[in-house]
Structure 1
């Protein structure tokens, strides 16, 4: 493995550690095993306090919805916030209960990339760099969007004297001191922690998905390079030092030579068998991934339908009120972009896993005809016929078709609510 490739893998590890750090600071993860007993005890209390605050906020929102059930504007206003906090709380509980499984899955996924890169064929660094850049851009992009959403929800909403920025029903009078401060603290804490939590959790989730895409991309290159011709072409590509030797350091040349030596190990059968084993390992990892995250993604799909519909309805309802328009526009943009990215990544996993069959065919196995080669080709085709899917419960598969279906469903509910509002005004 070249130093450049190893560095990219290390950057993936650091980025995953950053996502976990997000969750640690807001009390939704766990301290390291070498932390003191007192620190663990205090963190346990901190964790339960955050969960209780979020639960209290959810209950007050639900109470306000129930007490104003005949007012469509209030129900939809509370409903879009309630749908968002429900999915955050549900995902938080999944991360609390399955924390060890998630850490193990993360290690197995990065180790799978490491195993693939131990036998380079050329192009591994470019694939890693591409998806590492994608992870960074989306992480910092969504973090920025979350920051502006916190500002919009808490400080840009026009409120009358004594009212809270988010409608909710508390068992005390929030227009008087100190109850107003307590209510505002609950809302500010829940909104800030909830958005930070969803950034950390979804970034860790999509980081894993991007690592799946890395492995599928590298696997495709490995299958293509199994033949003697494919291997030779790759070596010639790496060995074109006539014009670049003066620009390369001796350590870089040594790394290229080590890559060529790795590529020369074994014949077609051994290289093809190694690629099949890596493919089987990836199938098992994605199966574990679906077991851990499938339920959370199902709630995400249901919640996204409600959030997009209700937020769009509210944005249309408050058109002309600049502050409320900003609030719901940012909220709608966050909901749609989050759903789009998750579905796009799932779609890419489906597409690249389906393209493995073509890569196996391009391995030029016909030049290596034998009974053993035939059995390997049949076995690999059987595995490749099983298209890899990132699932959201039993009903959804993360794909662009799912994204479009959710948008259609949201628009149908939006049209229904608009009709009900028009009839109510008449």
Structure 2
């Protein structure tokens, strides 16, 4: 695994005294639930573009952090936040132009059916709100998710985030299904996934539970990064709607240009969701999230339940969000994600024949998954060695999937071809060491 609170003595002793002291303070004051990345944790003090810098000034190539989607310390976003914070910051119960302008900008990037926005501070809150809306609209309670999905950490959302582990109980109204199988022939993937959804619907009904929603992260990040073939979600979406439920596209991971096709991952599949939840890269580090909705889906909820979020959509948040959208569009970062991501996937695919550790490479745009195997089987141990080996070469990635063997490569959208070459050089050297 790439996260731990317990360190081997060798790893711990390689840390500076100051870092050892920080770990002790962290455990004392933050408690046991927090985790650190890497066997030898890193201490960053500054970020710029695709680089993070530790306390000694060492630069690390960031090929992991999608929150800073337009680059760490982006000057356009920082200027927008600073200017608005120095002028006014209140809540959404007063009239203000920023929230309206930003909401209009967001919906303009979506199909016309998705025309209303509700703002939160985190993706967990957005998915929590989606559940409330889905249950109000459908009259059902049943939720269908993939078997290693992550959708958030509120009490409600943790109940349908199976990747949180066996000690976090799923709700009795939740059914898990196998994610799309990327190793099937492409024509079979859509039908196989739809059958999983249909079986979950039948099981909910058998237990007297009316389906409310199917929710998927449209890049299936926690399930191991599954992007292709485009369109494979169509039959599953049709199945949940036929059963009286709605489809929620969780775009917290794939949204805002990440997949290189368009601003939203669901557009790869030719479907229009009923609700779209968004977050993480939305403010480039400023805490903001929300959902984009078909008006008819939220109509009853809005009439019968007030919604208010003290910080969600406030003037500073809206300024940050608008600045991020502007940078993505003006710097053509969706096209950059497409071009650099295609180059990186092509180069990584060469290792399928060059290294016994690489099983397959897949993804879309700047969201790439690399299967790590040992003897033809998924290997979390080998994946962890690669992740930590790259960290020692000052390159940051992580791992995901039910076997923790899928390298997750997900850099800021400003990642260039030169950055990709830097990554590949470190990757090649690391693979040679691990083998």
Tell me the TM-score normalized by structure 2: 0.25
More strand by share: 2
More helix by share: 1
Structure of greater Rg:
1
